[in-house]
């Protein structure tokens, strides 16, 4: 009878959640990408930039019309680094679909003719697939073997589905030595007791499973072992669980960085995951930028972040709360080591104002109240008694928030969000820097000499590159060149010049030369993140 009840529970939960979610597994995602590229072959190209540990493709979708995509200024959207963040993966696909559906409109068509959009929808496909496996849990480890508890054994303490419902949740055990207690306003949620407030714990709280290796920990050394978002080079967390033996040790991360380092045209990177500086811009911290190893955003870059945040808000996307990042994450790498503007968003999260409405700072309590207010069911599995072999003769219960529910909204909520994000990206691309050669003047001097003067003007609404990028060799800088013929000599001025300092929005700089000879010369400016332009001038 008990097994039959568990079977009914399993069927009910899976039917209820899958009927409303519609999220694609990796195979379905791959097929959707292939079909999208095939239907829009003049605008979209799909290729793989590498493979995961288990051999799954790491897809790159390129949106661009005419010309060579790599020769146009670009943005890069990366999702699925936080593998349990299904909303980011799905949204990256829907945004691509929206842009392609509107590619015949003048505004979007011009964008795709002038700019390139790179989308990497799922960097960690092996862990992502866990959401669609027989046993579902919020896995963020890739499939590399790793001794996470450093006991000389691999994968010896994996998850066990003790109640056979297909989900790994939590187990709470009544114990006067426990550190956890029920939240005062929501008894379903367990929180750590605060001794400073005179609180006492009543329960032990563990992940659903068995302590297979009898080390007092549960599920700490399961299948796979490296968290991709702890494996990047900036602020790499040596000797910590899930970080790997060394930075960028994983094929997924190497594939991403190999692509980006070759993609000199990438102006800004956007991560879909548990990171947010689009509704909560970074703050300027002088102390962090004055130290030898810079760990804070440059002041001008902070202002750009604020500007882009306003653009994000203008697209109708609600303010999300601050999300704490961990050391070795991708978003920080993209700014501090890659030198690009780096932006992150969870795509969807509980609106920031729910904290005021629900009068609690506990995220899980706010989530349950939000779900109840919006009539979203089946996000919590009620606590049910269970006989736990590691705790004989103790009252144990299994339950908790359903895996993936807290970070991934019902599927039907993503359509409107994807449309708003598509609008935001189109507007961002329009605001990107664009250089022009203007106010060209020539003056006939004595002795067959001609003075040439021109302005290099950034007519975009964003700087040519980040302020930090000035210090980063990998960021392509503005190159100015005067191209002459054999019978011409540059008497004054540099034939080629590299401008390391970024040109701010609307800023211009004057360049000049004195040239001996007659005929035609050409001023050429180029920068991978702003494009290329030239003008021809007849010497007097």
In a domain, 268, yes or no: yes
Q: Residue 520, Cα to own-chain centre: how many angstroms?
A: 48
In a domain, 468, yes or no: yes
Element (H, E) at 442: strand 435-445
In a domain, 139, yes or no: no
- Count up the domains in the chain and report the number: 3
Q: Rounded CA gap, 190 and 183, in Å?
A: 6
The CATH number linked to 506 is 2.60.40.10
Q: CA angle, 324 as apex, 319 and 327 as ends, to 5°? A: 145
If asked whether residues 320 and 242 sit together in one domain, one would say yes
In a domain, 10, yes or no: yes
| DSSP character string of 379-428 | SEEEEEEE--TTSTTS-EEEEEEPTTTTTS--GGGHHHHHHHHHHHHHHH
Q: What is the pLDDT of residue 39?
A: 96
Q: What is the pLDDT of residue 89?
A: 98
Q: What is the pLDDT of residue 394?
A: 92
Least confident range of 123-132, 196-205, 317-326: 317-326
Q: Rounded CA gap, 187 and 365, in Å?
A: 9
Q: Rounded CA gap, 504 and 375, in Å?
A: 48
Q: What is the torsion angle, in degrees rounded to the nearest 10, for the CA atoms of residue 77, residue 79, residue 81 and residue 86?
A: 170
If asked whether residues 216 and 71 sit together in one domain, one would say no
**Averaged over 491-511, what is the pLDDT?**
95
In a domain, 296, yes or no: yes
Q: What is the pLDDT of residue 220?
A: 58
Q: Dmax over Cα atoms in the chain, in whole Å? A: 106
Q: What is the pLDDT of residue 119?
A: 98
The pTM score is 0.92
**Boundary-marking domain end, from 404, 423, 451:** 404
pLDDT at residue 94 greater than cutoff 80:
yes
Instruction: Give the tens place of pLDDT for each residue, 206-222.
Output: 988 887 666 667 555 55
If asked whether residues 212 and 268 sit together in one domain, one would say no
| DSSP character string of 117-155 | EEEE--S-HHHHGGGGSSSB----B-SS---TT-SS-SS
Q: What is the pLDDT of residue 540?
A: 74
For 33, half-sphere exposure in the C-beta direction (CA atoms, 13 angstrom radius) is 27
In a domain, 136, yes or no: no
pLDDT band at residue 229 using 50, 70 and 90 as cut-offs: very high
Least confident range of 58-72, 173-187, 252-266, 347-361: 347-361
In a domain, 356, yes or no: no
Query: CA nearest 334: which of 260, 408, 284, 404?
Result: 260
Question: Backbone phi, then psi, for 351, in 5-degree steps?
Answer: -55, 145
Instruction: Give the tens place of pLDDT for each residue, 464-478.
Output: 999 999 988 889 999
Q: What is the pLDDT of residue 412?
A: 93
Percent of the chain predicted with pLDDT > 70: 90
CA distances in angstroms from 242 to 145, 246, 256, 456, listed in the order given:
11, 11, 19, 48
Contacts of 174 (CB under 8 A, 6+ apart): 202, 203, 394, 395, 396
**Averaged over 408-419, what is the pLDDT?**
95
Beta bridge partners of 398: 171, 384
If asked whether residues 74 and 187 sit together in one domain, one would say no
The dihedral region occupied by 415, where left means phi > 0, alpha psi between -120 and 50, and beta the remainder, is: alpha
If asked whether residues 471 and 519 sit together in one domain, one would say yes
If asked whether residues 262 and 321 sit together in one domain, one would say yes
The CATH number linked to 26 is 3.40.630.10
If asked whether residues 188 and 118 sit together in one domain, one would say no
If asked whether residues 419 and 321 sit together in one domain, one would say yes
pLDDT at residue 410 greater than cutoff 90:
yes
Beta bridge partners of 221: 157
pLDDT at residue 333 greater than cutoff 70:
yes
If asked whether residues 446 and 495 sit together in one domain, one would say yes
Percent of the chain predicted with pLDDT > 90: 77
If asked whether residues 477 and 497 sit together in one domain, one would say yes
Q: What is the pLDDT of residue 523?
A: 97
Q: Rounded CA gap, 88 and 85, in Å?
A: 6
pLDDT band at residue 8 using 50, 70 and 90 as cut-offs: very low
Q: What is the mean pLDDT of the chain?
A: 90
Q: What is the torsion angle, in degrees rounded to the nearest 10, for the CA atoms of residue 227, residue 90, residue 88 and residue 78?
A: 70
Instruction: Give the tens place of pLDDT for each residue, 430-444.
Output: 999 999 999 999 999
For 393, half-sphere exposure in the C-beta direction (CA atoms, 13 angstrom radius) is 0
If asked whether residues 72 and 167 sit together in one domain, one would say no
**Averaged over 224-234, what is the pLDDT?**
91
Q: Rounded CA gap, 250 and 231, in Å?
A: 8
Which structural domain range is residue 180 located in? 147-223+367-404
Q: What is the torsion angle, in degrees rounded to the nearest 10, for the CA atoms of residue 126, residue 381, residue 219 and residue 365?
A: 90
If asked whether residues 19 and 126 sit together in one domain, one would say yes
The larger pLDDT score, comparing residue 513 to residue 145, is at: 513
Instruction: Give the tens place of pLDDT for each residue, 295-323.
Output: 999 999 999 999 999 999 999 998 888 88
In a domain, 142, yes or no: no
**Averaged over 227-235, what is the pLDDT?**
96
pLDDT at residue 462 greater than cutoff 60:
yes
């Amino acid at each position: 009878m008990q097994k039959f009840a568990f079977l009914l529970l399993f069927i009910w939960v899976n039917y209820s959640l899958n009927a409303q979610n519609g999220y694609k597994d990796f195979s379905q995602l791959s097929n959707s990408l292939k079909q999208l590229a095939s239907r829009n072959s003049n605008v979209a190209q799909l290729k793989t930039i590498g493979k995961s540990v288990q051999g799954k493709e790491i897809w790159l979708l390129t949106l661009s019309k005419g010309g060579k995509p790599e020769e146009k200024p670009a943005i890069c959207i990366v999702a699925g680094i936080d593998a349990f963040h299904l909303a980011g993966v799905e949204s990256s696909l829907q945004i691509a679909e929206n842009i392609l559906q509107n590619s015949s409109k003048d505004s979007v068509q011009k964008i795709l003719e002038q700019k390139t959009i790179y989308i990497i929808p799922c960097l960690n496909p092996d862990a992502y697939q866990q959401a669609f496996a027989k046993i579902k849990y919020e896995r963020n480890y890739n499939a590399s073997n790793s001794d996470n508890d450093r006991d000389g054994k691999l994968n010896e303490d994996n998850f066990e589905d003790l109640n056979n419902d297909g989900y790994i949740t939590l187990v709470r055990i009544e114990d006067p030595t426990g550190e956890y207690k029920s939240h005062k306003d929501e008894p379903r949620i367990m929180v750590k007791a605060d001794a400073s407030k005179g609180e006492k714990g009543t329960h032990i709280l563990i992940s659903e499973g068995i302590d297979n290796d009898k080390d007092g920990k549960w599920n700490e050394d399961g299948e796979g072992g490296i968290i991709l978002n702890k494996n990047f080079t900036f602020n790499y967390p040596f000797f910590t669980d899930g970080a790997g033996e060394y930075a960028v040790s994983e094929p997924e991360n190497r594939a991403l960085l190999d692509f980006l380092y070759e993609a000199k045209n990438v102006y800004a990177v956007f991560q879909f995951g548990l990171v947010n500086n689009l509704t909560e811009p970074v703050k300027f911290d002088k102390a962090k930028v004055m130290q030898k190893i810079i760990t804070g955003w440059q002041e001008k870059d902070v202002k750009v972040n604020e500007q882009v945040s306003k653009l994000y808000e203008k697209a109708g996307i609600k303010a999300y709360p601050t999300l704490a990042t961990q050391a070795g994450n991708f978003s920080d790498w993209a700014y501090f080591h890659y030198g690009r503007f780096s932006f992150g968003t969870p795509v969807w999260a509980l609106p920031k104002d729910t904290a005021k409405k629900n009068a609690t700072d506990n995220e899980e309590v706010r989530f349950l109240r939000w779900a109840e207010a919006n009539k979203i069911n089946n996000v919590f599995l009620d606590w049910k008694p269970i006989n736990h072999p590691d705790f004989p003769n103790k009252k144990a219960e299994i339950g908790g928030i359903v895996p993936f529910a807290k970070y991934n909204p019902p599927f039907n909520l993503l359509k409107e969000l994807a449309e708003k994000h598509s609008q935001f990206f189109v507007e961002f691309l329009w605001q990107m820097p664009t250089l022009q050669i203007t106010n060209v003047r020539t003056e006939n001097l004595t002795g067959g000499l001609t003075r040439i003067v021109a302005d290099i003007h950034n007519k975009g609404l964003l700087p040519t590159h980040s302020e930090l990028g000035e210090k980063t060799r990998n960021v392509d800088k503005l190159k100015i060149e005067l191209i002459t013929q054999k019978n011409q000599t540059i008497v004054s001025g540099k034939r080629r010049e590299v401008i390391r300092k970024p040109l701010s929005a609307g800023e211009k700089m004057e360049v000049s030369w004195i040239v001996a000879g007659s005929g035609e010369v050409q001023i050429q400016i180029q920068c991978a993140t702003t494009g290329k332009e030239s003008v021809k001038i007849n010497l007097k």
